[in-house]
Structure 1
Amino acid sequence: MADLPLNRRASTLAFIPDVVLPGGMTATLHKVVAGNGYLYYLRNVAANDASARGRSSLADYYSTRGESPGRWHGAGLAALGIQPGDEVTEEQMKALYGLGRHPNADQIEDRVFNEEMDKDAKLKDAHRAADNASRLGHPFRVYSDDNEFRKRCAKAYEAHNIAHGSDPGDAISDDERAQIRSTIATKMFTEHYGRAPIDARELSGWVARNSRPPTTAVARFDITFSPVKSVSTLWAIAPREVAEKVEAANHAAVDDALHWLEHNATYTRLGRNGVRQVDVDGLVAARFAHRESRAGDPDLHTHVLIANRVRTTDGRWRTLDAAMVYQAIVTVSEIYNTRLEMHLEEAVGVEFAERPGVDPSKRPIREIIDSRY
Structure 2
Amino acid sequence: MISKAEVRPGAGVRYLVRGVMVGDGHRAAGTPLRAAQDEAGVPPGVWKGRGLAALGLKAGDVVSERQAELLLGEGRHPDADRIERELLAQGKSPARARRATVLGRPIEHNRSPKTEKAKERTPWLAMDLVFRAPSTAHIAWALTDDETRLVLESCQDVARDRTLVWLEESVAQIRWGSGGKHRRPVKDGLVVAVFRHYESRAAESKPLLHDHAVVSIRARRPDGEWGNLSADSLMANVVAADTLYTLLFMEEVTARLGWVWEPREVTPGRRPVMEITGIDRRLIGWQSTRRQQIEDALPVLMDKYEERQGHPPGEKAGYALACQAADQTRPPKRTELLSLTELRTRWRGSAIRAFGACTVYRLAERARAAAAAVRARVRPVVDVVLAAVDTVAVVYVMRGAFARHHLLAEARRHLSYTLRGRPHEPGLDERIVQAAVDDYTRPVGYGRRMTADLRALYPRDTEDQAVLRPLTRKRTAPPYERARLAAGALAARVRAARRAERLGSRPRPYSVAVPAASRSSHPRPFRDGRKDGRLPEPETGVDAVEQTRQTLEAAAAKVAATLQDSQRAREAAHGPRPQPAPATTPPQYTQQPGTQHTPGRTTGGVR
TM-score (norm 1): 0.70
Identity of aligned residues (%): 31
Which residue number corresponds to residue 105 of structure 1?
A: 80
The yes-or-no answer on 1:80 pairing with 2:47 is: no
Cα distance in 1 for partners of 2:28, 2:192 equals: 23
The yes-or-no answer on 1:138 pairing with 2:131 is: no
- Larger C-alpha radius of gyration, 1 or 2? 2
Matches within 5 A, 1:120-135: 125-135=92-102
Cα distance in 2 for partners of 1:57, 1:271 equals: 42
One-letter amino acid of the structure 1 residue matched with residue 130 of structure 2: T
Q: CA deviation at 1:272?
A: 3.4
The yes-or-no answer on 1:277 pairing with 2:183 is: yes
Q: CA deviation at 1:52?
A: 4.1
Matches within 5 A, 1:54-203: 54-114=29-89, 116-117=90-91, 125-141=92-108
User: For 1:248, which of 130, 154, 163 is the aligned residue?
Assistant: 154
The yes-or-no answer on 1:260 pairing with 2:253 is: no
Equivalent pair of 1:47/1:53 in contact (CA under 8 Å): no
Q: Which runs of 5+ in 2 are unaligned?
A: 279-363, 367-607
One-letter amino acid of the structure 2 residue matched with residue 286 of structure 1: A
User: For 2:226, which of 311, 317, 320 is the aligned residue?
Assistant: 317
Cα distance in 2 for partners of 1:347, 1:29 equals: 29
Q: Which runs of 5+ in 1 are unaligned?
A: 1-25, 118-124, 148-208
Equivalent pair of 1:352/1:366 in contact (CA under 8 Å): yes
One-letter amino acid of the structure 2 residue matched with residue 339 of structure 1: L
Q: CA deviation at 1:146?
A: 9.0
RMSD: 2.2
One-letter amino acid of the structure 2 residue matched with residue 343 of structure 1: E
Cα distance in 1 for partners of 2:120, 2:20 equals: 24
Partner secondary structure for residue 61 of structure 2: coil
Partner secondary structure for residue 301 of structure 1: strand
Which residue number corresponds to residue 536 of structure 2?
A: none
The yes-or-no answer on 1:231 pairing with 2:206 is: no
One-letter amino acid of the structure 1 residue matched with residue 275 of structure 2: E
Partner secondary structure for residue 19 of structure 2: helix
The yes-or-no answer on 1:307 pairing with 2:216 is: yes
Which residue number corresponds to residue 600 of structure 2?
A: none
Cα distance in 2 for partners of 1:97, 1:52 equals: 19
Structure in which a larger fraction of residues adopt helix: 2
Matches within 5 A, 1:20-35: 26-35=1-10
Equivalent pair of 1:35/1:99 in contact (CA under 8 Å): no
Q: CA deviation at 1:232?
A: 0.8
Q: CA deviation at 1:144?
A: 11
Q: How far does the alpha carbon of each residue in 1:226-271 deviate from its partner, in whole angstroms, 9 at most, with x for none?
A: 1111111100111101100001101111011111111001111212
The yes-or-no answer on 1:372 pairing with 2:278 is: no
Equivalent pair of 1:224/1:303 in contact (CA under 8 Å): yes
One-letter amino acid of the structure 2 residue matched with residue 282 of structure 1: G
Cα 1:245–1:213 shift into 2, 3 Å: farther
Cα 1:364–1:242 shift into 2, 3 Å: same
Q: CA deviation at 1:145?
A: 11
Q: CA deviation at 1:273?
A: 4.4
Cα distance in 1 for partners of 2:143, 2:88 equals: 55
Equivalent pair of 2:192/2:215 in contact (CA under 8 Å): yes
TM-score (norm 2): 0.44
User: For 1:353, which of 262, 266, 269 is the aligned residue?
Assistant: 262
Cα 1:33–1:270 shift into 2, 3 Å: same
- Higher-RCO chain (CA-CA 8 Å, sequence separation at least 6): 1
Q: How far does the alpha carbon of each residue in 1:33-52 deviate from its partner, in whole angstroms, 9 at most, with x for none?
A: 22342111122211101144
Partner secondary structure for residue 266 of structure 2: coil
Structure in which a larger fraction of residues adopt strand: 1
Equivalent pair of 2:22/2:40 in contact (CA under 8 Å): no
Equivalent pair of 1:33/1:219 in contact (CA under 8 Å): yes
